[in-house]
Amino acid sequence: MPNFHFPHFPYLHPTIIPSRTLPLSSRLLLLLLFFSVVTLRAETPVEARATYIMETADSLVKARLALLDTAIMEHRFDKAVRQRIENYVGNWSNATGRLLARSARFFPIFEEQLLAAGMPVGLKYTAVQESALRPYATSQVGAGGLWQLMPGTARELGLTVNEIIDERLDPELGCAAGIEYLRLMYERYNDWALAIAAYNCGPGNVNRALRKAGGKNMTYWQIRQFLPRETRDHLPNIIAAAYVMAFHQLHDIPAAAIDLDLQLTEAITVDRRLSLHRVIQVTSLRAEIVVELNAQYLAGYLPGLPGGHRLHLPKRVMPAMRTYLSRTPANQAEADADLPWTSPRLHLGETNTERHYNQYCTVAGPQDTTLRQVADHYQLPVDQLAVWSNVGEFDSLSSEVSLVFYWVGDYLAYDPRGRNTPAAAPLVEMLPAAPVRIPGRAGGALPSIVPFTSAKAARKPTFTERLKAMFQ
């Protein structure tokens, strides 16, 4: 037992307790009293303050969760939600910063499509839990893309998935298929929380959980214990993601740096076969930027299927790309259409792209009470404005809050020069080798070659042979 000192309870000192002279019941009573005193004294003023802060923090988190869109689900604050929030703001703060940066790129696409479909905007947080907003994310069972669609499900929803193109990786098409599948699940259950659960584990598992829970008209929280283990925490994790994306600034988590070429983008439909190699030549972009924005083209080119394909590029280079497509015949053959690319010019893309963008700073107007109102005024996505300004959508706005956003400063002009990669040198038929001549040597030609006799074949002459040679 450690040597604790209690001035007010000297009889509890371990050297004073006559453990061998007291009856067992008395010894147990003293030990119980000892640990009770330890427990009572453990709540020091500092510890009491820490407990108060934790309880207050929980109250603040609950109050903030109440501000989120409740049209999707009840934002409960249980152990799973709290643990996930602690991971986001504590253990995973760097990863959370990268997640925020990616949200500025993808959330505007998600919001636009959700609003057009008449679905709750808060469904965008489903993709955070599904893929952490990584377009290349692939699960062990084969789900892929931002919305983690299985290949069969994606094909049923109209996407093309093969060795040439995987449209699950297209942020627009993948989102359209993902929210369509969510809509189908909602029509089945008439409950967004159950629809999200079915999206994650399949409607069969949700139906089984409803039967085990004893009824059809039940909520996610009522059947949660009967769902697969992963799905039990799926909605709590989405709640935590929605919390950290809305209140990251209150936990001093800034967004990570991300190239503006990946955030201020535009998409057009291309009705021809087009290599990404040619796109890089026309736009002078780095290869990794073009590939990142067009991850769905696994073979490095738009295959030219009926209906066309979406090409995503930074806004600043789109005028040059449009001009090229309008001036160049669709049937013109391209060089190096397929991967791998070998042209050394592909590594000469511009790295200092920030100089093509202007930064603007403003404050909320007297009539603006929310960040979304300011974003609508400047025709900006609210998620980009929040990330760039390091503020939250629910922050109170005042003239002291500085809001930052970016826009294209100059657009790339089209370069009309030819862009075909030089053809490879023709193969030359093998001819007889010409004599090799060394300058300055008499005769010019190399001396004749003397056959080489190996040391093993050579034999030392005998005495008789040497004597005969002397008289010859």
Tell me, what CATH number does 205's domain have?
A: 1.10.530.10
Last residue of a domain, one of 251, 269, 300: 251
267 three-class SS: strand
For residue 55, is it within any domain? no
The beta-strand segments (E) located in 276-364 are: 301-302, 309-314, 357-362
227 and 93 both lie in a single domain: yes
For residue 396, is it within any domain? yes
227 and 111 both lie in a single domain: yes
DSSP per-residue string spanning 400-430: T--EEEEEES-PPPP--S--PPPPPPPPPPP
pLDDT for the residue numbered 46:
55
171 and 33 both lie in a single domain: no
- Note the pTM of the prediction, 2 decimals: 0.74
pLDDT in tens, 222-277: 999 999 998 999 999 999 999 999 999 988 899 999 999 999 999 999 999 999 98
Quick one: angle between helices 171-189 and 93-116, nearest 10?
A: 70
pLDDT for the residue numbered 108:
95
Residue 262: HSE in the Cβ half-sphere, 13 Å Cα cutoff = 24
Alpha carbon separation from 183 to 70, 107, 117, 127 (Å, rounded): 17, 18, 9, 15
pLDDT in tens, 395-427: 888 777 889 999 999 999 888 876 665 444 455
231 C-beta neighbours (distance < 10 Å), count: 22
Last residue of a domain, one of 231, 251, 271: 251
120 and 157 both lie in a single domain: yes
Weakest mean pLDDT among 21-35, 83-97, 120-134, 374-388: 21-35
3 three-class SS: coil
96 and 165 both lie in a single domain: yes
When pLDDT is averaged across residues 17-36 and rounded to a whole number, the result is 54
Weakest mean pLDDT among 49-58, 105-114, 237-246, 310-319: 49-58
129 and 205 both lie in a single domain: yes
95 and 225 both lie in a single domain: yes
Domains in the chain, number: 4
Percent with pLDDT over 90 in the chain: 47
137 and 152 both lie in a single domain: yes
pLDDT band at 27 (very low <50, low <70, confident <90, very high): low
d(CA 265, CA 249): 25
Nearest-Å Rg of the Cα atoms of the chain is 36
pLDDT band at 70 (very low <50, low <70, confident <90, very high): confident
Select the more confidently predicted residue: 436 or 256: 256
pLDDT band at 129 (very low <50, low <70, confident <90, very high): very high
Tell me, what CATH number does 361's domain have?
A: 3.10.350
For residue 65, is it within any domain? no
Last residue of a domain, one of 408, 425, 455: 408
Range of the domain at 336: 260-348
Residue 121: phi and psi, rounded to 5, are -65, -30
pLDDT for the residue numbered 458:
55
For residue 50, is it within any domain? no
pLDDT in tens, 188-224: 999 999 999 999 999 999 999 999 998 778 999 999 9
Percent with pLDDT over 70 in the chain: 74
204 and 265 both lie in a single domain: no
155 and 241 both lie in a single domain: yes
DSSP per-residue string spanning 441-457: -TTSBPPPPPPP--TTT
pLDDT band at 361 (very low <50, low <70, confident <90, very high): very high
For residue 294, is it within any domain? yes
368 C-beta neighbours (distance < 10 Å), count: 16
pLDDT in tens, 294-347: 999 998 899 988 889 999 999 999 999 999 999 988 887 665 444 444 454 555
- Average pLDDT of the chain is 81
For residue 437, is it within any domain? no
- Token pair, residue 106, equals 């993808």
pLDDT for the residue numbered 4:
39
For residue 377, is it within any domain? yes
Q: Is the pLDDT of residue 363 over 70?
A: yes
**Contacts of 69 by beta carbon, 8 Å cutoff, 6+ apart:** 120, 121, 122
208 and 222 both lie in a single domain: yes
pLDDT in tens, 173-183: 999 999 999 99
For residue 469, is it within any domain? no
Q: Is the pLDDT of residue 47 over 80?
A: no
Q: Is the pLDDT of residue 112 over 90?
A: yes
39 and 186 both lie in a single domain: no
